[in-house]
Amino acid sequence: MTTLDRIKGYRPRQRHLPILATMAMLIGAYVYGASSYTAFGSGQVVLDLFINNAFLLVVAVGMTFVILTGGIDLSVGSVVALSTVVSADLLQNQGWSVIAVIPAVLAIGAALGFGMGVLIQVFEIQPFIATLIGMFFARGLCYTISTQAYSIDDPTVASLAQTQIPLGGELHISIGVVVALVVVAAAAYLLYGTRFGRTVYAIGGNPKSALLMGLDVGRTRISVYTLSGFCSALGGLLLVLYKSSGDPLNGVGLELTAIAAVVIGGTLLTGGSGYVLGTVLGIMVLGIIQTLITFDGTLNSWWTSIITGALLFAFIVLQRLVGRRAT
């Protein structure tokens, strides 16, 4: 294995097993659903998975960068909630336009992420603790702005939320899906086509070795958490389009769902190995499980959490087994 391969985080072929398992699971679940329920085989059902989970996909992309460095971000759900509350307040109470609200919300999310990155890198606080601080801080800010949910009746938001992009026949996607796919494409380019991405993998593989290679570990780690905050804020804006409301209770437990999607998608919790495509597949797996439960009609919605927990356990065990075989 060359030095460049190590920087990029390449591993033996066994490292591809988790993402292949995720893909096989997704295909199997879809085939089962299509054979069991007539309507499940519709192409729109697959597109609805993206429509319903566009905001979560954007958040999970940011989480992917964090986990690739061997870190964790527990603040993403609270930042999503803060983004919805700030958006609602600025649009409804302050009279701001959508054009002004979008950059303001994104800047807030990026600033929170930057602050947590500084705590982790400069003050050497563990990512779990630093992002836990961010989680409480962002959620507290939500309640200082509003203790109740209120709807957004801005005409621009309503127009964007109701816009359907036709794909032929009766198939369509939302603007949120387009934004999410653009984020996925940009993230893939950053990870696989830039020095920044190679540094992200190197940090997750071995931070000390990355420093010895002359890579800018400190700046990259701060940038990763800034990016995660930005993605969380963008996810919050997409959630505003999806629900047309702001609620301080939005995003409760979202950080755990995002982590589960990233891990199920094949990214190692210890960092250094993973794929943005895997995160997309992880989101799809979680979405299709929820859809199957909805189609069944006899199972409680809590079965989604039970199955997610079982999948997370299985994939962590698989990662450990693969890691032992690769060493």
| DSSP codes of every residue in 201-233 | HHHHH-HHHHHHTT--HHHHHHHHHHHHHHHHH
Gap between the terminal Cα atoms of the chain: 13
- 3-state secondary structure (DSSP) of residue 150: strand
Going by C-beta distance under 8 Å and a sequence separation of 6 or more, which residues neighbour residue 322? 14, 15, 17, 18
Which residue in the block uniquely carries the two structure tokens 């939005």?
250
Amino acid at 78: S
pLDDT at 327: 56
Structure tokens at 184: 């996925």
Query: Do 220 and 194 touch, CB atoms closer than 8 A?
Result: no
Q: What is the pLDDT of residue 14?
A: 64
Which two tokens mark 85? 């509350």
Count up the domains in the chain and report the number.
1
| Residue span of the structural domain in which 221 resides | 3-326
Residue 56: Cβ-neighbour burial (10 angstroms; 0-12, 13-18, 19+): buried
* Full pLDDT tens readout for the chain, 327 residues: 433 444 444 444 566 778 888 899 999 999 999 999 888 888 899 999 999 999 999 999 999 999 999 999 999 999 999 999 999 999 999 999 999 999 999 999 999 999 999 999 999 999 999 999 999 999 999 999 999 998 999 999 999 999 999 998 889 999 999 999 999 999 999 999 999 999 999 999 999 999 999 999 999 999 999 999 999 999 999 999 999 999 999 999 999 999 999 999 999 888 998 999 999 999 999 999 999 988 887 777 788 888 888 888 888 887 777 666 655
Q: Is residue 109 within 8 Å of 83, Cβ to Cβ?
A: yes
Residue whose pair of structure tokens reads 């059902």 in the numeric block: 45
Q: What share of the chain is helix, strand, coil (3-state, %, to 5)?
A: 75, 5, 20
Helix (H, G, I), strand (E, B) or coil at 245: strand
What CATH number does the domain containing 49 carry? 1.10.3470
58-79: buried (b, 16+ CB within 10 Å) or exposed (e) per residue?
A: bbbbbbbbbbbbbbbbbbbbbb
